[in-house]
Amino acid sequence: MRSTKFWILLIAAALVVCLAAAAAVMLGNTGSCVARVYQNGQLLRAVDLSQVEEGYTFTVSGPAGENLVQVEPGRIRVAAADCPDQVCVHQGWISTGIAPIVCLPNQLVIQIQSDSHNQQVDGVTG
Amino acid sequence: MMRTARLSALLLALALLAGCAPGSREDTVHFTAMDTVIQLSVYGCDHGEETLSEARQLIQELDGLLSTTDEDSQIHALNQGETVALAQPVQALLERALALCADTGGAFDITIYPVVRAWGFTTDSHQVPTQEELSALLARVDYRQVEPQGGTLTLPQGVELDLGGVAKGYASQQVAQLLREEGVDCALIDLGGSIQAIGSSPDGDPWSVGIRDPRSDSPEDYAAVVRVTDQAVVTSGMYERYFEQDGVRYGHIIDPDTGYPVDNGLASVTVVSPDATLADALSTALFVMGRDGAAQYWRGREDFEFVLMGEDGSIAISEGLEGSFSLAGEQGSVSLEVIRR
């Protein structure tokens, strides 16, 4: 028979291993999440949304005027645009890689690439 | 020991057979063409970048021929009343489209363009046309008036073509063919929500394609997921383009019989088929036919399956999707019906 102390240590060790594993999984899920801003296929800017601490904005100019892009921790949107249809503005915030924000008149695409593997679909039809 | 060796050999063989091993090389390109955003991804292809640039060129060429608004396009020239010697892809697609118009009894009609324009859906200056105006325009709507003669075509006075209801499906089919010829066996072609899957996903499972939730404004929200291999998934949704006037909502999908936007309780129609051009045309045609008409049409064919999403949140699927369809939200809150043969 082993001593009680041995079993307590063993259980404590198992607990530590479990907690470490749980922490690793959780930290893994908050991995980087990069929004890439393209114009006519050219990469203009890449923003790691997981590293954003304070929100900010920047503008992108195109054939139909300007798009005001707003960045906040974990998410990005087009806050205002000169384009006539305002589709990109109506699309609102995006935070996953499922659907890009698109402004056709300004040939602007904002696409999020996330390596956290929490994306459940490969594409969206609609 | 022998057993372990044999098992390892078997596993290795399986891994090689899978073609797109997880973690293998991925190449992606996005650009805008055909009035939408296009994303092409190929996996495990050692010349992916070159292949994608060829695919992009192919899409841009097709767009240049098929656009209704580009003044250099063949469709634009036809709509100006000119006699046009049709380029091979235009002729091939036109013939296919006319066959689909006939097959759907005109629920899909490539001559609806003048009516769509009268509603302002082509210019974003929306209006409700008068009944007289619609009646006059409807007299010009009939795909049977489009009669190519040995590679050339002249449209009768007042008849105008729009191949937009099949162009994306056709383009994704052409891209799929190009990619397969280049030896790609794992790719996802996304033409603004018209999706064509090649092979299965890089992890070996079928591709998961979300179907947008028609009741949400965000294109990131999907109401259901369908899993596919080597198939196209195309959706027509009322939410894509609509306007409201005097409390009435007018959508961009026009019934060629009445000239009015379809208003039959459907919010979106998704078609799953190995044939992307068929899926594209049918996503519109089934929308026009409505739930019962769509079910009846499907019972007479074997080459597609469908998902109907209602404005009330109800969902109906054809029975062929039973094993590959799942709801994304809380299962209890949605009524799911399986339509059988």
Residue A29, pLDDT above cutoff 50: no
Can you give the residue ranges of every domain in chain A?
1-30, 32-114
B188 CB neighbours in chain A (<8 A) are 122-123
pLDDT value of position B124? 77
Shortest Cα–Cα distance, B224 to chain A (Å): 10
Shortest Cα–Cα distance, A70 to chain B (Å): 17
CB-CB under 8 Å, A126 with B193 = yes
CB-CB under 8 Å, B188 with A121 = no
First vs last Cα of chain B: how many Å apart? 53
Q: What DSSP designation does B276 have?
A: H
Give me the amino acid identity at B299.
R
B57 CB neighbours in chain A (<8 A) are none
pLDDT value of position B22? 47
pLDDT value of position B330? 62
pLDDT for A31-81, tens place per residue? 678 999 988 878 899 999 989 999 999 999 988 899 999 999 989 999 999
Asked, for residue B45, whether it belongs to a domain, the answer is no
Q: Closest Cα partner for A46 from A121, A126, A111? A: A111
CB-CB under 8 Å, A124 with B124 = no
B210 CB neighbours in chain A (<8 A) are 98, 120-121, 123-126
Whether A38 and A44 have beta carbons less than 8 Å apart is answered as yes
pLDDT for A79-108, tens place per residue? 999 987 787 888 788 888 777 888 888 888
pLDDT value of position B97? 98
pLDDT value of position B88? 96
Q: Rounded to an integer, what distance in angstroms lies between the CA atom of residue B203 and that of residue B164? A: 34
Query: Token pair of B36, please?
Result: 């939408």
Residues B337 and B257 in one domain: yes
Could you give the residue ranges of the DSSP H alpha helices within B155-242? 164-181
Rounded to 5, what percent of chain A is helix, strand, coil?
25, 40, 35
Residues B323 and B251 in one domain: yes
Q: Provide the domain limits for residue B80.
A: 69-153
CB-CB under 8 Å, A38 with B30 = yes
Of A96, A99, A120, the CB nearest to B208: A120
Q: Rounded to an integer, what distance in angstroms lies between the CA atom of residue B339 and that of residue B321? A: 10
A40 CB neighbours in chain B (<8 A) are 31-32
Q: Rounded to an integer, what distance in angstroms lies between the CA atom of residue B205 and that of residue B228? A: 9
Tokens 């019906």, residue? B337
Asked, for residue B313, whether it belongs to a domain, the answer is yes
Domain containing residue B111: CATH number: 1.10.3980.10
Asked, for residue B181, whether it belongs to a domain, the answer is no
Separation in Å, CA A28 to CA A14, A75, A97: 21, 18, 17
Shortest Cα–Cα distance, B154 to chain A (Å): 32
Q: Which residues contact B227 (CB under 8 A, 6 or more apart)?
A: B205, B206, B207, B208, B209, B324, B325
pTM value is: 0.81
Asked, for residue B197, whether it belongs to a domain, the answer is no
Residues B250 and B338 in one domain: yes
CB-CB under 8 Å, A104 with B36 = yes
Residues B261 and B335 in one domain: yes
Q: Rounded to an integer, what distance in angstroms lies between the CA atom of residue B181 and that of residue B175? A: 10
Interface of A to B at Cβ within 8 Å reads 38, 40-41, 84-85, 90-92, 94-96, 98-100, 102, 104, 107, 109, 111, 120-126
Shortest Cα–Cα distance, A29 to chain B (Å): 18
A107 CB neighbours in chain B (<8 A) are 32
Work out the widest C-alpha separation in chain A, in whole angstroms.
Answer: 81
Interface of B to A at Cβ within 8 Å reads 29-32, 35-37, 39, 124, 188, 190, 193-195, 197, 201, 207-212, 214, 217-220, 222, 225, 233-235, 237, 239-240, 268, 270
Asked, for residue B192, whether it belongs to a domain, the answer is no
CB-CB under 8 Å, A121 with B225 = yes
pLDDT value of position B72? 95
pLDDT value of position B331? 55
CB-CB under 8 Å, A92 with B218 = yes
Q: Closest Cα partner for B210 from A90, A99, A101? A: A99
Q: What DSSP designation does B127 have?
A: -
Q: Which residue has the higher pLDDT, B304 or A116?
A: B304
pLDDT value of position A118? 45
ipTM of this model?
A: 0.84
Domain end call among B124, B153, B182: B153
Backbone angles phi, psi at B130, to 5 degrees: -75, 160
First vs last Cα of chain A: how many Å apart? 66
Q: Which residue has the higher pLDDT, A8 or A72?
A: A72
Q: How many domains does chain B have?
A: 2
Backbone angles phi, psi at A20, to 5 degrees: -60, -45
Q: What DSSP designation does B141 have?
A: -
A90 CB neighbours in chain B (<8 A) are 217
Query: Token pair of B112, please?
Result: 């609806």
pLDDT value of position B7? 54
B220 CB neighbours in chain A (<8 A) are 94-96, 98-99, 124
CATH fold for the domain made of A32-114: mini-chromosome maintenance (MCM) complex, domain 2 (2.60.320)
pLDDT value of position A100? 82
Asked, for residue B172, whether it belongs to a domain, the answer is no
pLDDT value of position B333? 67
Asked, for residue B173, whether it belongs to a domain, the answer is no
Asked, for residue B98, whether it belongs to a domain, the answer is yes
Among B205, B208, B220, B269, which would you mutate to test the A interface (most chain A Cβ atoms within 10 Å of its Cβ)?
B220
Among B29, B53, B222, B240, which would you mutate to test the A interface (most chain A Cβ atoms within 10 Å of its Cβ)?
B222
Strand partners, B273: B232
Low-confidence ranges of chain B (pLDDT < 50): 1, 10-22
Residues B211 and B341 in one domain: yes
- CA nearest to A42 within chain B: B31
Residue A25, pLDDT above cutoff 60: no
CB-CB under 8 Å, B209 with A123 = yes
